[in-house]
Structure 1
Amino acid sequence: MPPAADIGSRVLLRRLRQVMAQPGDPQARLDRIVSVIATNMVAEVCSIYLRRDEAMLELCATEGLRAEAVHRTRFRYGQGLVGRIAQRAEPLTTTDAPRAPGFEYRPETGEEIYSSFCGVPIQRLGKVIGVLVVQNAAAREYTEDEIDALEVIAMVIAEMADAGQLTGEGFDLARSAPKTYQGVAASDGAAIGPVHLHEPKLAISNPFTDDVEGERARLDASMVDLRHEVDALVAADLAGAPAEYREVLEAYRMFAHDKGWLRRLHEAVASGVVAEVAVERVQSAARSRMERAANPYLRDRLHDLDDLANRLLRRLNGGVGGETPQGAILVCRTIGPGELLDHGGRIAAVVMEEGAVGSHAAIVARALAIPMVVGIERIVAEAENGDAMIVDGDRGEAFLRPPDNLADAYREKIASAKEAEARYREIRGQPAETRDGAHVALHINAGLLSDMPNLHDVGAAGVGLYRTELQFLTRPTLPRRADQAALYGRVLDAARGAPVVFRTLDIGSDKVLPYMRRPLEENPALGWRAIRVGLDKPFALKMQAQALLRGAGARPLRVMFPFIAAESEFYAARDIVTETHARLQKLGYTVTDDLKVGAMLETPSLAYASDSFFSDVDFLSVGGNDLLQFFFAADRGNERVRRRYDTLSASYLGFLRAIIARADAAGTPISFCGEAAGRAEEAVALAAIGFRALSMRPASIGRVKFALRAVELQAARSIVDEAIAGGAAARPAIRAMLARAGAL
């Protein structure tokens, strides 16, 4: 037999359903709701506060407090007991409210006579949109069952409010007002389109149920399907996969089979709500707890719980998720590269709550020329499917439900960009040669086989950086040696003789393999990553070297090691590649006689390596993204410090010029690879200090070639030399020169 508390909750929910079925405006519904709750809870006061705007809660209905306080009494988030509940997203109870920490007296309410206080957040998908409060004059300890019942009621109120059934003019719960968000630019470009939520919110027309047993059976059947899917995932072919992968999947399966999770879902259904509402309620509570956890590993596990809850919701809804509309703006908390690729060419831009400029999702977005903005908090809760949105990947901004004049301005900007692309296509077959005859080889950065047609489409000279880790990041299991070799062979086939530089596996920091346990590090960008992982796990580096050599066959092969900080690391990694080459030859494999091994210079320390290193390395590529952040000690994923430092500052350009001089003296080819290479001003300045090869994303080739062909390199060199000598940034003068040439 169900507990008495469950029966009481169901009776109350049945009465609320009757209230909602009665005619009347939103205020009348709210007034009836607080009356029903007060009667059922034997409370002298019941009040509902709803969000007026992003920072303010307003008393919208009350039974017991003075009527004149309605729509007059307001609390900011964090202010008073009500504001504390909204800010912390957790219940608060006390038997002596006037003396409770944070209490604020509002004379218009007359609540000073009520000592006992119990309030719970009204939240939808993790976003607090209000607070539900009951009060009594006498000292009263509210039981856990009573608090639980209030949370169920608050969840139902949230569903009603989200559907616009409880609010009138001036409230943004229906989220119809325009909003502007500042995030971090992760992939440039601009786009306008309808919002498409990566995990769509479910439209639940009726959150109540009288058939508790039927809902429990529906929940159990969907849970069985979910567990079978997870079990099949764990039982998949894991040949060659490391132990970390099995541990991650086993932890994921443990969550799916957690009896406590199922028990909490059953308890929520027993209160009289449908299974979908039960899942959302349990997940909202878990999210509130885990987002406050100090342990990063526990916070990361929230993604596992979210994923399982979303999978369960899809099963409850018959697998309905909705296909991504063409030209949509994908809005999500986080997304992996494989999931991003699943959306194909349908999306126009991506907006994420989490993520970083250097994340593998951002790398894929840049490779696909998809504008992306990351670090926008609460966008998933604020946006609705179909909402209009503008994404500015250049400025790191997003505009939700923008006004018409702003949308018109961005349409003009996008049209101008398309016109510029048409001009760039006209010079696709022409060399990147300055007006005074200096030639600069422009290469593309790639990481997917689908990137390779861009090599010829944009008129690039080759692939300056092929990110081999994307093959690892987009798969749930470690790719086999044969699969790696086949991919590398197809990449060289697609290059049709153009040079391709393969960078060995660059993982760690914010690029974590799905089957690799992420180490807890204070500063992951400075931690166990890239070549450090390869040297500590020589089997993986050796296996990749074998795959590269087999995939290349007799064709020329260029291999480059990432994040070399000491020359000894280069020599140790080179030995693994050369020994693998010799062993394959001995075993009778067809391997190249033209093997070149290089390094990425991404740390200031390598700039001061010995002369012998600069002579021994076959080629160098300056990794501008990492080098810039280490040179200025400014995290490139932190918008507050990232933009304080200029790539064209005198100190940085002088440092790069000194590196070029050392490479030239040793006769070692050197190139520049990074986001800066793809911007016209930076590209001209980099060429002026001596770089004759630049590597960038394919979409940048056209504008860089156009800019280089419009200027005289000697004039640019004079500007840069003067800036370095005077300690000033070269950007203003370079920009003015490009503007005069019509190349901006």
Structure 2
Amino acid sequence: MAEEFQTDSRKMLGRLREVMAEDSHGQQRLDRITRLIASSMYTEVCSVYLFRDAETLELCATEGLKPEAVHQTRMRLGEGLVGRVARTGKQVNTADAPKEQGFRYMPETGEEIYSAFAGVPIQRLGETLGVLVVQSKDSRKYNEEEIYALEVVAMVLAEMAELGAFVGEEAALSARHTKPRLFKGSSGQEGSAEGHVWLHEPRVVITNPIADDPVRESQRLNEAVEQLRVSVDQMLAGAATGDAEQLQVLEAYRMFANSKGWMRRMEEDISRGLSAEAAVEKEQTQARQRLSQASDQYLRERLHDLDDLSNRLLRILTGQGKETGAEMPADPILVARNIGPAELLDYGRSLRGIVLEQGSVGSHAAVVARALAIPLVINAPEITNEALNGDHIMVDGDQGVAHLRPEDTVVTAFRDKIAMQAKAQERYASIRDVETVTQCGTRISLTMNAGLMADLPSLENSGAEGVGLFRTELQFLIRNKMPTRSELSSIYKHVLDSAGGKRVVFRTLDIGSDKVLSYMKPADEPNPALGWRAIRVGLDKPGVMRMQLQALLRAANGRPLTVMFPFVAQYDEYRAARAEMDKAIERERILGHALPESLEIGAMLETPSLAFAPKRFFEEVQFLSIGGNDLKQFFFAADRENERVRKRYDTLNVSFLTFLQGIVERCEETNTPLSFCGEDAGRPLEAVCLAAMGLRALSMRPASIGPVKSLLLRVDLGAVRQVIEEAAVSGEQSVRRAVLEHLRNMS
């Protein structure tokens, strides 16, 4: 029986391929397909519903319902049994459809009350494109083999929809990969860029989902899998001396690559008429569905492993991907699901912009993008499924949107915006060497944040007075093993050399939370942002801290050196870290190495607790830098990686400004130098308010210095402070509106 069904399945897919090969319009193709499925499965109704937009399904073809209902009958996502299949991505198979929860009768289709109903999602790699439905008057459930046949056909329909096979003069939906698309994400790095798509991991396009020679397809699959296994074994051999974590990941790869169940399911798909490529992708799609809903975190994480292996296997079978030798466009906009810092650095400044499906404002990729001053949009869902290499794309990092294949009106408006930004940059360049002195005569120091060698040319070009924050962890994150003391010393020496005598504030290793080293076993913590990170790691692993401090001392080689410790929550932590520096200095003295001409040791104030430290702490620490990004999230108890809450609270909230004022007053009492470092320092409106609250040093990304300086030169901080105080007295929650109105009326 199974063999007979497989033969029938192959026949149906063979007929399906013939239909697709016909020279006919897209609607005619769909109509033929529904008739073919209905006759092959001996059922009264077969219908295809496709998404018209993200929330609406449209009846696009039917056999058994009224032809005039095609392109007229629509339903919302989740509405009726069809909408349920589309929303959940799971099949519905029932012998008594009217009694199913959510059943919707659609009289406009002329349908009778059909008892039997089976609906399967038309999916490709986790994205649901529509629903394939069969119905029958008989009160019966469709058997396992029939449902399997529907799944196979639905998968082929998904591939055909991807290739635009249903596009015709009468089709409701246009071909994918041809229409303009707007992707709304979040801003990871400000700026605007126009260019052409370069996919970090190009999607594999399957042009032959149906095959007529199962033996040959099975042979192709086995040869490709063997090649895959060899490559995994080679990776394991190369990592034999690596750490246990990396080996565990590669062992998981080998487990999947050698899975008999995985091979058996793909060979069964081939026996029913699918090509080797289509069989791999069908199993990948279904595994995604299973693993993404698993309650076990470990199983969900293995989805990435299986995805990677499936994609490798598909590239072997199709010859597509990076191995094809495709050339990067001259104006590349990188599009990826996600990307690590080392991979992003490999691209370097050749990129015009970056769009990621995932990522966060504090991710490694965002940090590197800021260092390279590349516009970045994060959390842009489905763009890797929609974009193709070479597509025209415009990235608006300010608004967090990407225009893929934009219309002419969008192109014109976008180019106007870029031209205006270029004029503004010319204006900022003219004040590059001007001291930042406000209209009331207050001197504000503007420095830049850095962390990569690529940042250093910006020190001169931006007009920054120095480096207010050099993130040393990036040199650890971009490696696959711990850097040596001599490597670090060489890097830090180069930084000091490039600074040309300007002050550089080196922040010691700030790892943990979202910054996890691949060669250090991550701590299993429910809330890593509040866990084992930064100075806590350094004090628990003093060997790493000592090595870094020694590298900094040797890099200075007698020159002035400034070091600060991150995430200090209480006085004792600062004293312990300072003691480690004293030990490092003594060791260097004994070894006869040159000691710094002067040494400043400070701390970052990123936790509210440190603002209430004993007065002795403020007297002892040589400078403080407010880490605005972390301090803000802890002050408002709002995770800055959580898009639902991170924008809910305003930096210019009266409560937060009052808290900052308290820190300023404590530092003034002990004459402790204080600066503010973070994204908000680089936003002109926020920078003016921070300066009005008494902060006289701001550190930001290089590209922000021009806009911030331009506004500070034109304001009277006393007047701004008065506006802030009046807004606070009036009961305003945020002073943003009042200050913005004041700035608009300045001229």
Indicate the larger mover: 724-733 or 214-223.
724-733
Distance 1:557 1:2 in 2: 77
* Residue among 431, 436, 456 paired with 2:435: 431
Q: Check whether the contact 1:132–1:154 (CA below 8 A) recurs between aligned residues.
A: yes
C-alpha distance after superposition, 1:123-149 (max 9, x if no partner): 123211111123343344434343333
Find out whether 1:247 has 2:243 as its counterpart. no
- Aligned residue for 1:345, secondary structure, equals helix
Cα shift at 1:624: 0.7
- What residue in structure 1 maps to residue 154 of structure 2? 154
Specify whether residues 508 and 266 from structure 1 end up closer, same or farther in structure 2 by C-alpha distance, changes over 3 A only. farther
Equivalent residue number for residue 34 of structure 1: 34
**C-alpha deviation, 1:306, in angstroms:** 2.5
CA distance in 1, matches of 2:111, 2:543: 70
CA distance in 2 between partners of 1:592 and 1:567 (Å): 25
For residues 485-525 of structure 1, give each alpha carbon's deviation from its aligned partner in whole angstroms, at most 9, with x where no partner exists. Answer: 33223222222222222222222332233345555544332
| Distance verdict in 2 for CA 1:18–1:423, change over 3 Å | same
Tell me what 1:564 maps to: 568
Give distance in 2, aligned partners of 1:282 and 1:263: 10
Q: Distance in 2 between matches of 1:470 and 1:58?
A: 49
Q: How far apart are 1:366 and its partner, in Å?
A: 1.7
Contact kept in structure 1, 2:203 and 2:321, CA below 8 Å = no
The offset of 1:738, in angstroms, is 4.4
Amino acid at match of 1:264: R
Alignment partners' CA distance in 1, 2:651 and 2:496: 33
- How far is the alpha carbon of 1:724 from its aligned partner? 5.2
Q: 2:652, 2:686 within 8 Å by CA — same for their partners in 1?
A: yes
Q: Deviations over 1:642-687 (max 9, x none)?
A: 3343323333222212212212322322111001111112222222
Quick one: structure 1 residues 714 and 381, their matched pair in 2 at CA, closer, same or farther if it must change by over 3 Å? Answer: same
* Corresponding position of 1:198: 200
The answer to whether structure 1 residue 294 and structure 2 residue 295 are counterparts is yes
Counterpart amino acid of residue 307 in structure 2: D
Whether 1:617 and 2:621 are equivalent positions in the alignment is yes
CA offsets, 1:231-288, max 9 Å, x none? 444444676x654444344434444444433443333334333333233222222222
CA distance in 2, matches of 1:355, 1:522: 19
Instruction: Show the counterpart of 1:10.
Output: 10
Q: What is the match of residue 554 of structure 1?
A: 558
1:700: which partner in 2? 704
1:454 equivalent in alignment to 2:458: yes
Partner of 2:184: 182
**Structure 2 CA distance for partners of 1:538 and 1:271, relative to 1, 3 Å:** farther
1:23 corresponds in structure 2 to: 23
- The equivalent position to 1:679 in structure 2, one of 664, 679, 683, is 683
Residue type of the alignment partner of 1:318: G
Cα distance, 1:196 vs. partner? 3.6
Q: Which amino acid aligns with 1:11?
A: K
1:582/1:92 Cα in 2 relative to 1: closer, same or farther (>3 Å)? farther
Whether 1:94 and 2:94 are equivalent positions in the alignment is yes
Q: Normalising by the residue count of structure 1, what TM-score does the alignment of the two structures yield? A: 0.91
Q: Would the aligned equivalents of 2:59 and 2:70 in 1 still touch at CA under 8 Å?
A: yes
The Cα shift of 1:173 comes to 5.2
Closer/same/farther in 2, CA of residues 463 and 81 from structure 1, 3 Å limit: same
On the 8 A contact 2:204/2:320 being kept in 1, the answer is: no
In 2, distance between residues paired with 1:488 and 1:119?
62
More moved, 256-265 vs 465-474:
256-265
Counterpart of 1:61 in 2: which secondary structure?
strand
Distance 1:341 1:680 in 2: 29
Q: Could you tell me whether the CA contact under 8 Å between 2:85 and 2:91 is conserved in 1?
A: yes
Give the Cα separation in 1 of the matches to 2:718 and 2:600: 32
Partner residue, 2:273: 272
Secondary structure of the 1:643 match is coil
Shift of 1:109: 4.3
SS in 2 for 1:582: helix
**In 1, Cα distance between the equivalents of 2:397 and 2:224?**
40
Question: Relative to structure 1, is the Cα distance of residues 71 and 526 closer, same or farther in structure 2, using a 3 angstrom cutoff?
Answer: same
Aligned residue runs from structure 1 range 193-232, under 5 A: 193-232=195-234
CA distance in 1, matches of 2:634, 2:222: 52
Shift of 1:29: 1.6
1:696 to 1:256, Cα distance in 2 relative to 1, 3 A? farther
Per-residue deviation at 1:468? 1.8
Shift of 1:345: 2.7
SS of equivalent to 2:650: coil
Q: Distance in 2 between matches of 1:194 and 1:607?
A: 48
**1:344 corresponds to which residue?**
348
1:531 aligned to which of 501, 523, 535? 535
The answer as to whether partners of 2:334 and 2:351 remain within 8 angstroms in 1 is yes
Partner of 2:518: 514
Q: What one-letter code is carried by the residue in structure 2 that aligns with 1:61? A: A
Distance change >3 Å, CA 231–CA 518, structure 1 → 2: same
Distance 1:216 1:498 in 2: 66
Equivalent residue for 1:650, pick from 650, 654, 674: 654
**Contact kept? 1:52, 1:172, Cα under 8 Å:** no
State the SS of the aligned residue for 2:435. coil
Structure 1 counterpart of 2:676, one-letter code = F
Task: Provide the secondary structure at the position in 2 that maps to 1:343.
Answer: helix
The answer to whether the Cα contact below 8 Å between 1:184 and 1:637 also exists between their aligned partners in 2 is no
- Residues 136, 316 of structure 1: CA spacing in aligned structure 2 closer, same or farther, 3 A cutoff? same
Question: Partners of 2:367 and 2:448 in 1: how far apart?
Answer: 13
Q: Secondary structure at the match of 2:352?
A: strand
Q: Give the RMSD, CA atoms, in angstroms.
A: 2.9
- Given that residues 186 and 373 in structure 1 are in contact (C-alpha distance below 8 angstroms), is that contact kept between their aligned partners in structure 2? yes
| Runs of 5+ consecutive residues of structure 2 not aligned to the other structure | none
- Quick one: which of 673, 676, 679 aligns to 1:669? 673
- SS of the residue aligned with 1:647? coil
Equivalent position amino acid for 2:20 in 1: M
For residue 274 of structure 1, what is the amino acid of its counterpart? S
Out of 337, 353, 357, the position equivalent to 2:357 is 353
Which residue identity does 2:203 align to in structure 1? K
Note if contact 2:239-2:247 (Cα within 8 Å) is conserved in structure 1.
Answer: no
Q: CA deviation at 1:176?
A: 4.7
CA gap 1:437/1:116 in 2 versus in 1, 3 angstroms: same
> Aligned partners of 2:152, 2:6: CA distance in 1, in Å?
10
Is the 1:34–1:63 Cα contact (8 Å) retained in structure 2? Answer: yes
Q: Provide the aligned length of Structure 1 versus Structure 2.
A: 741
Distance 1:560 1:708 in 2: 27
State the secondary structure of the residue aligned to 2:308.
helix
